[in-house]
Amino acid sequence: MFKNEEMEINLGPQHPSTHGVLRVKLRLDGETITHCKPIIGYLHRGVEKICENQTFFQGQVWTDRMDYCSAVANNLGWAEANEKLFGITVPRRAQYIRTMLNEFNRLASHLIWLATHALDIGAMTVFLYAFREREDILDLNEAFCGSRLTTTAFRIGGLREDLPPGFEKMARKFLAKFETCLEEYENLLSENRIWKKRTIGVAKLSAEDAIALGVTGPVLRAAGVPYDIRKAFPYAAYAEMDFEVPTQTAADTYARYLVRMAEMRQSARIVQQCLDGMPEGPVMAKIPKILKPEVNEVYHATEAPKGEIGYYLVGEKGSTNPYRFHVRAPGFINLQCLPKMAEGALIADIVAAIGTLDIVLGEIDR
């Protein structure tokens, strides 16, 4: 009557909960996942090869299009890696503006994570609230660089333009109301019984496993490891900022939710400090119009909203193009731990596991 055999199903590649085109091959024993294999590459565009055939300046537009939810963070890592390669010192005002925009971007990225993660699990309302605030941040992006998502915000050596008039007022207005908005989300979720049932104890990943699998970002911090590159290897103006690295020890989906919510508060704090302590001065270093490096290789890692984004560049003497351009995408490395999280869990929890990793396939496949 009943067959006692395992069933194999595909989640995706066109599934709304996979945030792009991720295919997960699952083998099920009843409702329990016995085997899980993520299959990626559907969005592979060869960004690294393209950037190797363009000049150092032109690579930036491709970094926007990797993780389109946190383009500014990608731009920042790219700009700083290039500055390390050439040995450029960036003016202090530019550092502050970069830090501020990066934190606004972290807010936007975490908001879109919150919205879609809650939507995946079944809480529809948060989506609308979170997108309302994200819209304001995109407006700030637009005011600064004319573009909302693919920002191309920075230049090697600083910024193209100073802040536009009225930006500070817009930013302060946003910050004034943001705390109440965060409370709104928390009212909807933190003590919500369904949300807690769907997230507590789901998709656990211990600190040892996370470190062994190279997982970074909020997923690692929710396992109790206070590793934040902004603190560990300060870059931009983070050395001068006063902020905390929120951690949790439960290492489950709910803990990651709490970590990201606390991180949003810290980001708002950093933005406030940047606005208050904004130094005067130029925003662009004095650099030649055409950059040609000496033989050098750099690996520069920054803390993107999703984890450590690293750029590995090799410079060839006298060439205007990078000899090698490699991106260590946080989502690519973080997604490796999906089998660890999902195997042995119920099939309904795989959606929570994918959501809690906060992946964007544009960056994983590059």
Partner 1 sequence: MTDPIVPQPEAAPEAPKGPYVYDYAASPQRQVVMPKTVPLPSRRTYLAEVKAAAEADEAKWQKMLADFETAKTKAEAEGKDAPKPPVRPVPRKDDNDMKTPWPEEAKDADLLLLQACLGAKVEEVFEQAGELTCQVSKDTILEVLLLCRDHADLRYEMLADQTATHYPAATGWDYSVVYHLTSISRRKRLRLRILVPEGFIPDSACAAYPSANWMEREIYDMLGITFANHPDMTRILCPDDWEGHALRKDYPVVGWGQRDIAFREDRGGMIERIALQKAGQLGINLKQPKAE
Q: How far is the CB of 303 from partner 1 (least distance, A)?
A: 12
Q: How far is the CB of 86 from partner 1 (least distance, A)?
A: 6
Cα distances (angstroms) measured from residue 281 to each of 25, 167, 235, 241, 333: 54, 17, 19, 19, 39
Check if the beta carbon of residue 246 is closer than 8 Å to that of residue 221. yes
Conformational region of residue 87, where left means phi above 0, alpha means psi within -120 to 50, and beta covers everything else: left
* Residue 138 DSSP one-character state: H
Distance in angstroms (rounded) separating the CA atoms of residues 330 and 307: 5
Q: How far is the CB of 179 from partner 1 (least distance, A)?
A: 31
Give the residue from 270, 263, 329 showing the smallest Cα distance to 73: 329
Peptide bond into 330 cis (omega under 30): no
* Residue 316 DSSP one-character state: -
Nearer Cβ to partner 1 (44/172):
44
- Please count the residues of the chain: 366
The distance in angstroms from the start CA to the end CA of the chain is: 48
Nearer Cβ to partner 1 (256/300):
300
Nearer Cβ to partner 1 (138/314):
314
Q: How far is the CB of 9 from partner 1 (least distance, A)?
A: 21
Q: How far is the CB of 350 from partner 1 (least distance, A)?
A: 19
- Sites of contact with partner 1 (CB under 8 A): 40-41, 44, 46, 48-49, 52-53, 84-89, 157, 211-216, 225, 227, 232-233, 285-288, 293-299, 301, 308, 310, 312, 314-317, 319, 323-324, 326, 328, 332-333, 335-336, 365-366
Nearer Cβ to partner 1 (94/112):
94
Q: How far is the CB of 1 from partner 1 (least distance, A)?
A: 37
Nearer Cβ to partner 1 (195/332):
332
Count of CB atoms within 10 A of residue 10's CB? 11
Q: How far is the CB of 68 from partner 1 (least distance, A)?
A: 18
Distance in angstroms (rounded) separating the CA atoms of residues 251 and 237: 30
SS3 278: coil
Nearer Cβ to partner 1 (78/257):
78
**Which is it for the CA torsion 20, 326, 329, 68, positive or negative?**
negative
Nearer Cβ to partner 1 (133/365):
365
Q: How far is the CB of 94 from partner 1 (least distance, A)?
A: 11
SS3 214: coil
Check if the beta carbon of residue 130 is closer than 8 Å to that of residue 185. yes
Nearer Cβ to partner 1 (166/288):
288
